[in-house]
Amino acid sequence: MIVHVPDPLTPPLKFNTVQPDLYRGAYPREVNFEFLRTLNLKTVISLTPHPVTEESDRRFYEFCQKENIKLVHLECAKSGKGKKRGVPLGYTTILDALNYVIHKQHAPVYVHCINGSQVTSLVIACLRKLQFWSSIAIFNEFISFATNITVNDRNFVEGFKGELNINFDDKVDWLWVGMSKGVVENHPRLRITDVAPRAHQ
């Protein structure tokens, strides 16, 4: 009797669980599709120079279509050369990514760049900044996935600022565990506005 042993599931390079229903890693290859299927993803955020299309990557595109996964493309340069602050993306792109990451309606989410290193790490580092993590904790996590961390990377994360409109009724449960709304809305680096709809009184 021949027993068929299923092929082992293969995660993308540098895959990791960031928080419940939030994952990070490198650009998925066909060998990773069965693994990704187990995550029941609703959204894939591609931090890449070009979007995933039927013409650019038919297999990945068709996988997402079949699994009803929303493909979100946030354009990033191949390298930090010639970019402001010496990094391949700006704060607007970070804020766009966070808007997907922190709202339940988009979860589970997989965030990836080309190699799962610098670009994805910058997004997650800024997420940690939003979560009130210390710089030491943020950069320790960063170097776990990137070969190194440059002065430009550090300065970019330390200087992260902007405005986030958050639907507090839809935010992920893990975002600010144990913190009061008053503390959150007085974030030292970010202007946070609650845009949850309110019933007429």
- Domain range summary for the chain, segments of one domain joined by +: 16-162
Check residue 105 and report its DSSP letter: G
Q: pLDDT tens across 23-68, in order?
A: 999 999 999 999 999 999 999 999 999 999 999 999 999 999 999 9
Please confirm, yes or no, whether 113 is among the known catalytic residues. Answer: yes
Q: Check 64, 76, 113, 126 and give the catalytic one.
A: 113
Instruction: Supply the pTM of this predicted model.
Output: 0.91
Q: What was the pLDDT predicted at 181?
A: 85
pLDDT average per 10 residues of sequence, the chain (201 residues): 69 97 97 96 96 93 97 81 68 97 98 95 97 96 91 95 94 93 90 78 41
Structure tokens at 25: 């890693």
Class in CATH terms, 16-162:
alpha beta
52: left (phi over 0), alpha (psi -120 to 50) or beta: beta
Query: CA-to-CA distance for 2 and 85, rounded, in angstroms?
Result: 59
